[in-house]
């Protein structure tokens, strides 16, 4: 089948699924939370994590003021909270009050850690750069909170216990009802495809 070729990224901008997270920040007596789908690990030593945030977001103002942020990985049951924090502005409402968001105590920063998160990072901002219409904010992870039972011995997610929020773009989220995990040995796959 022939593919459509376009010079505009808008023709294919829904490059999902991706795990959607909630980024939190605290400054000037205010907590805030927003949904983020554009995020990534950057370095193991030191541990660095990147988030891509529009400078229009209220969360960006709080991160800029505090130089800290929280990264919250939530189970699929919390997809509605992800959508709600991604569809409302902290400049207009207190999302923690409006959505009844429970917090755990943060240990190294003032960034809120969500009780519902199966894993969370507290980050200190180490870089903030504009790329086009978004900013890449890089944080050093200074504390990790996680539910031990959510992970296997090799530190991968135990999908029997927790399924992440998988975002498909637009207003769609993917529910995982059955898990078909394939464990693929890299070397044998390379050998098989070579022949």
Ligand X SMILES: Cc1cc2nc3c(=O)[nH]c(=O)nc-3n(C[C@H](O)[C@H](O)[C@H](O)COP(=O)(O)O)c2cc1C
Under 8 Å between Cβ of 112 and 70? yes
CA 27 distance to own-chain centroid = 20
Integer Cα distance of 72 and 165 in angstroms: 11
Establish if 96 lies at the interface with ligand X (CB under 6 A): no
Q: Report the residue from 82, 101, 123, 162 that binds ligand X according to the rule CB under 6 A.
A: 82
Q: What are 86-91's contacts with CB under 8 Å, separation 24+?
A: 86/20, 86/34, 86/35, 89/58, 90/30, 90/32, 90/33, 90/34, 90/58, 90/59, 90/62, 91/58
Residue closer to ligand X by CB (options 27, 37) is 37
Integer Cα distance of 66 and 86 in angstroms: 21
Establish if 139 lies at the interface with ligand X (CB under 6 A): no
Establish if 76 lies at the interface with ligand X (CB under 6 A): no
Shortest Cβ 42–ligand X spacing (Å): 15
Kindly write out the interface string for residues 42-71 of this chain, putting x where it contacts ligand X by CB under 6 A and - elsewhere: ----------xxx--xxx------------
Shortest Cβ 79–ligand X spacing (Å): 9
Residue closer to ligand X by CB (options 35, 101) is 35
Integer Cα distance of 145 and 132 in angstroms: 33
Residue closer to ligand X by CB (options 88, 158) is 88
Integer Cα distance of 132 and 62 in angstroms: 21
From the list 40-48, 78-86, 98-106, 138-146, the region that binds ligand X by CB under 6 A is 78-86
Establish if 38 lies at the interface with ligand X (CB under 6 A): yes
Shortest Cβ 60–ligand X spacing (Å): 7
Distance spanning both ends of the chain, measured CA to CA: 26
Could you tell me which of 145, 77, 79, 136 has the C-alpha nearest to residue 112?
145
Establish if 90 lies at the interface with ligand X (CB under 6 A): yes
Alpha helix positions (H), 78-160: 79-85, 95-98
Restricted to residues 164-193, the positions that interact with ligand X (CB under 6 A) are 167
Shortest Cβ 131–ligand X spacing (Å): 12
Binding site for ligand X (CB under 6 A): 20, 32, 34-38, 52-54, 57-59, 82-83, 86-90, 134, 167
């Amino acid at each position: 089948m022939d593919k459509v070729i376009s010079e505009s990224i808008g023709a294919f901008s829904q490059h999902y699924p991706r795990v959607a997270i909630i980024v939190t920040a605290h400054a000037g007596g205010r907590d805030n939370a927003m949904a983020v789908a554009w995020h990534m690990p950057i370095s193991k030593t030191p541990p660095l994590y990147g988030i891509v945030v529009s400078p229009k977001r209220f969360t960006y103002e709080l991160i800029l003021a505090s130089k800290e942020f929280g990264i919250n990985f939530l189970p699929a049951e919390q997809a509605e909270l992800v959508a709600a924090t991604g569809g409302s502005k902290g400049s207009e409402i207190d999302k923690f009050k409006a959505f009844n968001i429970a917090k755990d105590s943060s240990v190294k920063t003032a960034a809120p850690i969500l009780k519902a998160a199966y894993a969370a990072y507290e980050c200190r901002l180490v870089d903030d750069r504009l790329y086009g219409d978004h900013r890449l904010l890089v944080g050093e992870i200074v504390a990790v909170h996680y539910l031990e039972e959510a992970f296997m011995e090799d530190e991968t997610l135990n999908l029997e216990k927790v399924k992440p929020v998988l975002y498909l773009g637009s207003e769609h989220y993917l529910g995982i009802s059955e898990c078909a995990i394939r464990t693929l040995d890299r070397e044998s796959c390379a050998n098989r495809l070579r022949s």
